[in-house]
Structure 1
Amino acid sequence: MQHTRLAAMPCPIARSLDRVGEWWSILILRDAFAGMTRFEQFRASLGIAPNMLTRRLNALVEAGLLERRLYSDRPPRHDYLLTERGRDFRQVLLALLAWGNRHFAPEGASVQLIHAESGALADPVLVDRATGLPVDGPAFRIVPGPAAGEATHRRLARSQAAPQASTGPAGPGPEGSAA
């Protein structure tokens, strides 16, 4: 089965999913944030087949989220290090961690985010850098950007006209599938 390439879509969510939407990729990035850099470390942590791990690492390198650095010539061995683009993904991982703990951990959290100095539990929220306000509030809505095509304008116009009760207090969710 041919995988649909989302990179050509104008939607930023589709383009992002094209790079990291496969679950192994997200788990590899999670492990990279935990300090893992070597093929065997990722394989042992994830229990992933070597051929699948090779494909996922290559895709993450190609997407610019990881950088491959040779550490042994014979045999050739590489470290996989987070790039600036990869390090930017940390916010997404923290949001997934908080969302997963809130909605899919009836037994309680197995992983938590804490403040390093105080040890206090942290509850990450996405805020606007300029105002400091949480972006899930009514002060924010999604609108077409300067590069938006006609289909995106139509879709977002429909979503702005939709009743707020069906989309929650923040309005419609992020850009959908057909931007």
Structure 2
Amino acid sequence: MTKGSFAEMNCPIAQTLEQVGQWWMLLILRNAFCGMTRFEEFQRHLGIGTNILSQRLRQLTDDGILTRTVAPDDGRSFDYRLTEKGLSLYPLLVAMTEWGERWVPNSSGARIQFIERRTGRAIAGVSVRSADDSPLRPDEIDVRPGPGADDKTHELMQPAETRAAISTKM
């Protein structure tokens, strides 16, 4: 199956990938979280072609992840700023950074560290937590279809034994 679009797939992961799954998108967002706002800044830092950067910024803007406004200090330039929707992607980028530092490390040490401004200490990191705030492992969580689930989601959420029994009957 080749990836043309995930727009028709009834899955929150597929829908997220549809909006930010292209590799340049996440790097543009990383730079936006680090304070970059101008096309020229993104282009210079990322080394991305101007045509691709234009397309990605347009998509992020069209999808409501960034806003594009005329720069107050230069009417010929635009500022790209994270919206509330864009800001809510921060835990995803932190989790990806943590994963990369752990599983694809640099031999000289961490490349990116997250420090709480108020305390000057490293943050605790991203984790999945229970209602009482204790950390949970994947084997401690059941995933169930919700009210918006379609047949494919229900199939995905079936216990492995049920899926195996169904596949042997075919």
Same fold (TM over 0.5): yes
- The alpha-carbon distance between structure 1 residues 13 and 42, as it changes in their structure 2 partners (threshold 3 A), is same
Q: Distance in 1 between matches of 2:115 and 2:127?
A: 16
- The alpha-carbon distance between structure 1 residues 106 and 37, as it changes in their structure 2 partners (threshold 3 A), is closer
Q: Distance in 2 between matches of 1:48 and 1:122?
A: 31
Name stretches of at least 5 consecutive residues in structure 1 with no aligned partner.
163-179
Q: Distance in 1 between matches of 2:94 and 2:81?
A: 19
The aligned runs of 1:3-22 (5 Å cut-off) are: 4-22=4-22
Q: Match of 1:155, as an amino acid?
A: L
Q: Match of 1:6, as an amino acid?
A: F
Q: Match of 2:60, as an amino acid?
A: L
CA contact (8 A) 1:65 1:82 kept: yes
Q: Deviations over 1:13-70 (max 9, x none)?
A: 0000000001111000000001100000101110111111000000100111000001
Match in the other structure for 1:43: 43
Q: Match of 1:47, as an amino acid?
A: G
Higher deviation after alignment, 5-14 or 81-90:
5-14
Equivalent position SS for 2:158: helix
CA contact (8 A) 1:125 1:134 kept: no
Q: Deviations over 1:68-88 (max 9, x none)?
A: 001279863210010000000
Equivalent position SS for 1:80: strand
Higher RCO, Cα 8 Å, sep 6+: 1
Q: Match of 1:130, as an amino acid?
A: A
Q: Under a length normalisation based on structure 2, what TM-score does the superposition of the two structures give?
A: 0.84
Q: Distance in 2 between matches of 1:76 and 1:3?
A: 37
Q: Distance in 1 between matches of 2:161 and 2:61?
A: 38
Match in the other structure for 2:141: 140
Q: Distance in 2 between matches of 1:87 and 1:37?
A: 14
How many pairs were matched up?
161
Equivalent position SS for 1:76: strand
The aligned runs of 1:70-109 (5 Å cut-off) are: 70-71=70-71, 76-107=76-107, 108-109=109-110
Match in the other structure for 1:62: 62
Q: Distance in 2 between matches of 1:78 and 1:102?
A: 37
- The alpha-carbon distance between structure 1 residues 127 and 41, as it changes in their structure 2 partners (threshold 3 A), is same
- The alpha-carbon distance between structure 1 residues 12 and 81, as it changes in their structure 2 partners (threshold 3 A), is same
- The alpha-carbon distance between structure 1 residues 74 and 90, as it changes in their structure 2 partners (threshold 3 A), is closer
Q: Distance in 1 between matches of 2:72 and 2:50?
A: 19
Match in the other structure for 1:120: 121
CA contact (8 A) 2:94 2:126 kept: no
Identity of aligned residues (%): 39
Q: CA RMSD in A?
A: 2.4
Q: Match of 1:66, as an amino acid?
A: L
